[in-house]
Chain A
Amino acid sequence: MDATPKQKWSLFAVSIPVMLWTLIPLFWIFSLAVKPSSIQADGKYVPREITWDNFRLILTGGASDLFLPALRNSIIVCLLATLISVVLAMFCAYAIARLDFPGKKMILLVALGVSFFPVISLVTPLFDLWRNIGLFDTIPGLVIPYLSLTLPLSIWVLSAFFQQIPWEMEQAAQVDGATSWQAFRKVIVPLAAPGVFTTAIITFFTAWNDFVFAISLTSDNARTVPAALAFFTGASQFEQPTGAISAAAVIVTIPVVILVLIFQKRIVAGLTSGAVKG
């Protein structure tokens, strides 16, 4: 269906408010992050003056001992949860896509059921259990519950990807004289890698976003960024933490936005194939 120039431009005109609606709150966080504290409450959307003080405060200054460990914890916990989920899901999705065995459908339904689970329902029993066995406020104490968020998602998205792979190419390569290992490495790995990678990104986003587990199951040592943001205090007791929180928010948002910019197409494919075509 070819759009006429008139249609093309009217659609262009409609997309502008959509993009503005999306960007306005994002720019506001940036704006607050660079506003000097003296004009923070002036209500001007575009800052009249720019300072990097807030970034200095959280990266090297008084709030850095709160923000930097949280950033480190977030990265470690999310990478671990993503790695474990994607590896486990890879085997599982391979079996679902390629092998015929009873219970295939059940596994997918259980994965879906687990992903519908209200997170807070897991928190109460885990809070009690973790305190008893010493996992409260530790990295593994967060990674384990994160698996309930990340593993079903990985299984669901990855098996959708694996079902689209033309597996017969592996045999074709073997017929052409490749060894099994060569066929796997040269044919299957390049076909499967984009799906695995996309799944890893989506899984990482989900873990990175978690707030409920992070504020409930940690106190100091293992606190992640979203939880730390919620408990931020200003440079002194009498100062609002608005600027510091905004600067921290900008720092944790930039990498995510870069990933989206680069992998937009794949992320869309992963989200939708995992959910709709299922």
Chain B
Amino acid sequence: MSTATAPAETKTPSKDKALLSNRAKAERRLGWKLAGPAFIVMVAVTAWPILQAIWLSFFRYRLTDPDAREFVFLGNYSVIFTDPVFYQALRNTLLITVVTVAVELVLGFAIAMLMHRVVLPRRTLRTIVLIPYSIITVVSAFAWLYSFRTDTGYVNHWLNTITFGAWDSAFDWFGSWAPAMSVIMVSEIWKTTPFMSLLLLAGLAQIDGAMEEAAKVDGATFWQRLFKVILPNMKAAIMVAVLFRTLDAFRIFDNVFIMTRGANDTETLSTLAYKQTIDRVEIGMGSALSVVLFLMVFAIALIFIKGFNVDLAGSRK
């Protein structure tokens, strides 16, 4: 019987706080003994590096010349915020985030609806849809890179065929900003739409089928049912999925690194931070960029949770 009543007990801890029995105290101790190690490891592997990053970001510190390490306080930050390269990376990151999340939401929702209703290749469809999620992002990036490349690709040939030769089959997709960004986004969308649609599928599954049936009986069209019944009822699932994907897209690195390495102004915040740290061994500047990126991710999460009332822990009951 313990599980059936446990949630009710956890909701009212204040009432019996005064009369904590020995048993309850022992339970608390055991709880932290069991959960503590995981908690400590989790905090240690993230809190320590980020504190270190904040500290290092106040220095002009290059690994090749460690003796010239010099305290510059916010110097690195003022360099970042006056550098057009940073703003280009920020614009690219925001563009990728907004476009991919928007496309994935629509596409992911359509696929979720399909997976929810489809009868015939139900299992096959779900399995195939899951594959992009499970393969390595670098592999997906190479697959798309090689598809669009002028030398090894087939996309130019296909476009040439379907436009009856109007498309230049030697078109260089990675030669300029707009096409390169498009391919990066296509790859990102292909790789992560399955995750989005699975989250939305779970939201769809929670909707009471009778409600939709009732709307149908009352003569509601498909679009009316979609916007008046289905979508309002899965608002929570949509918000969680959008939040997860937004924060994930904002960190985009693998696709950009494999496809362009930031050439033709396709740099994103993550690749910029990587270049400063690893290629140029500018530890101070790299740390400052890391802190900026961290704060931005933090701000986005805060906006979602406070602004849109995404209840992440509350949904766990």
A104 to B34, CA, bound (A): 11
What is the predominant secondary structure among interface residues of chain B facing chain A? helix
- Tell me whether A75 is interfacial, beta carbon within 8 Å: no
Is the pair B240, A276 in contact by a Cβ cutoff of 8 Å? yes
Mask: chain A, 138-153; 1 = CB below 8 Å from B; 0 = not: 0000001101100110
Chain B residues whose CB sits within 8 angstroms of the CB of A178 once the complex forms:
none
Residue in B closest to A9 when the chains form the complex, CB atoms: B120
Is the pair A249, B209 in contact by a Cβ cutoff of 8 Å? no
Most buried by A among B143, B209, B254, B257: B143
- Tell me whether A181 is interfacial, beta carbon within 8 Å: no
Q: Report the minimum CB–CB distance from B149 to chain A (whole Å).
A: 8
Please tell me which one of the listed residues A91, A252, A275 contacts residue B35 in the complex, with CB atoms under 8 A apart: A91
Is the pair A128, B294 in contact by a Cβ cutoff of 8 Å? no
Most buried by B among A3, A100, A276: A276
A124 to B157, CA, bound (A): 42
Is the pair A11, B6 in contact by a Cβ cutoff of 8 Å? no
Given contacts A22-B194, A122-B49, A245-B142, 13 further A-B contacts (CB under 8 A): A3-B117, A15-B120, A44-B154, A89-B38, A101-B30, A102-B28, A105-B313, A113-B301, A121-B273, A148-B42, A216-B274, A242-B152, A275-B244
A-B contacts, 17 listed (Cβ < 8 Å): A12-B120, A18-B111, A19-B125, A96-B35, A99-B30, A100-B28, A101-B28, A111-B42, A112-B312, A119-B253, A123-B277, A125-B287, A216-B277, A226-B139, A230-B258, A256-B136, A264-B126
Binding site for A on B (CB under 8 A): 1-4, 6, 9-10, 13, 24, 27-28, 30-32, 34-35, 37-39, 41-43, 45-46, 49-50, 52-53, 56, 63, 111, 114, 117-121, 123-140, 142-144, 146-147, 151-154, 156-158, 169, 190, 194-195, 198-199, 201-203, 209, 212-213, 236-237, 240-241, 244, 247, 250-251, 253-254, 257-258, 269-270, 273-274, 276-278, 283, 286-287, 289-291, 293-294, 297, 301, 312-313, 315-316
